Amino acid sequence: MADVHHESVFFSGHVQGVGFRYAVLQVAKEFEVAGYVRNLADGRVQLEAEGVEREITAFIDAVHERMHGHVRKVERQAQQRPAQFAGFSIQ
């Protein structure tokens, strides 16, 4: 199987308790992406996404734009790897 573009993204700021994960799930429906979003114990939100690089980039940009008032910092780590996800979910 061919490798896909994968990004691990960590959003910091006022990102828990504001519908962030649900908003990410709604945005994901607009793109050809797979993965998940979840809250972390340290107050950040983790987003794992894979697919075609331009779709992932547009997806993450759309999430940041929709939730810009809540996000103080975005950390992104990208890599190529075999696909691991089917669909997009909240964990």
% of the chain at pLDDT higher than 90: 97
DSSP line for 68-88:
TTTEEEEEEEEEEEE----SE
Q: Sign (positive/negative) of CA torsion 24, 28, 29, 31?
A: positive
Asked whether the predicted pLDDT for residue 1 surpasses 90, the reply is: no
**Options 38, 39, 44, 72, the catalytic residue:** 39
Q: What is the pTM of this model?
A: 0.94
pLDDT at 80: 96
| Residue of 21, 44, 66, 76 marked active site | 21
pLDDT band at 2 (very low <50, low <70, confident <90, very high): confident
Residue 65 has pLDDT above 90, yes or no: yes
pLDDT at 16 over 80: yes
Does the pLDDT at position 13 exceed 90? yes
Asked about 39 being catalytic, the answer comes back as: yes
Domains of the chain (ranges, CATH numbers): 3-90 (3.30.70.100)
Determine whether 81 is an active site residue: no
